[in-house]
């Protein structure tokens, strides 16, 4: 899984495979996405503006507003809380994302590697609304592209990123519970489709 695997340790995905898992249903797909590096970025007190502009030049665009996500080239970012974002980039090219980001923002920000803290499951297909309303209280039918909602699915705290309303979403939850999150999603899909 990428050039940093040249050492003697072989990576596994959050769902435990050597390759990401794909589950296909009639008109709907659940895809495990494991090729992203993640780093959290928090503004230091008083340096919020400095951080914003440093992040902007690093990412190639502004950090997203509250409850939103955006992407600029390789980089995507979503809002996690006041003055706190998660930045994502392809793992192959950016395994050391956290270090690079820290270098870019310096003392204006606190950066923490989060790559393996999460599992990401992408859902694609026409029945996404029906599936998601069995899983979380987010008002998905009123959602728009770029929404990033922290919500809870079967007792698991997750980020729900809307890529295309009703059609494409990313669900990002805690890695240790990847199997439970996957089970919840598959169960909900089977209940609907």
State the residues that interact with another protein by CB under 8 A.
1, 4, 6-13, 16, 34, 40, 42-46, 66-67, 79-82, 84, 107, 110, 112-118, 126-127, 129-130, 133-134, 136-139, 141-142, 150-152, 154-157, 174-177, 179-181, 183-184, 187-188, 190-191
User: Using CA atoms, how far apart are residues 59 and 125, in angstroms rounded to an integer?
Assistant: 30
CB of 14 to another protein, least distance (A): 8
The closest alpha carbon to 69, from 2, 183, 168, belongs to 168
* Nearer to another protein among residue 58 and residue 129 (C-beta): 129
On whether the CB atoms of residues 68 and 148 are closer than 8 A, the answer is: yes
User: Using CA atoms, how far apart are residues 156 and 169, in angstroms rounded to an integer?
Assistant: 17
User: Using CA atoms, how far apart are residues 171 and 97, in angstroms rounded to an integer?
Assistant: 21
Q: Which helix (H) or strand (E) holds 56?
A: helix 48-59
**In the numeric block, which tokens belong to residue 81?**
């809380």
* Nearer to another protein among residue 115 and residue 170 (C-beta): 115
CB of 65 to another protein, least distance (A): 10
* Nearer to another protein among residue 70 and residue 177 (C-beta): 177
DSSP-based three-state secondary structure for 139: coil
* Nearer to another protein among residue 60 and residue 102 (C-beta): 102
CB of 115 to another protein, least distance (A): 6
CB of 164 to another protein, least distance (A): 15
Say which DSSP state 34 is in. Answer: -
């Amino acid at each position: 899984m990428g050039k940093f695997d040249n050492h003697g340790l072989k990576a596994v995905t959050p769902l435990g495979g050597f390759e990401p898992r794909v589950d296909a249903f009639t008109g709907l797909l659940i895809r495990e996405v494991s090729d992203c590096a993640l780093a959290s970025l928090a503004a230091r007190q008083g340096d919020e503006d400095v951080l914003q502009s440093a992040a902007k030049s690093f990412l190639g665009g502004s950090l997203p507003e509250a409850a939103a996500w955006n992407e600029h080239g390789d980089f995507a970012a979503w809002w996690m809380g006041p003055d706190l974002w998660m930045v994502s980039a392809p793992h192959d090219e950016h395994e050391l994302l956290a270090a690079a980001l820290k270098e870019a923002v310096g003392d204006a920000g606190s950066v923490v590697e989060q790559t393996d803290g999460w599992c990401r499951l992408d859902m694609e297909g026409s029945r996404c609304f029906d599936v998601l309303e069995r899983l979380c209280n987010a008002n998905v039918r009123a959602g728009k592209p770029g929404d990033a909602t922290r919500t809870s699915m079967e007792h698991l705290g997750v980020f729900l990123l809307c890529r295309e309303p009703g059609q494409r979403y990313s669900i990002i939850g805690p890695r240790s519970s990847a199997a439970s999150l996957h089970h919840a999603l598959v169960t909900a899909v089977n209940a609907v489709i």
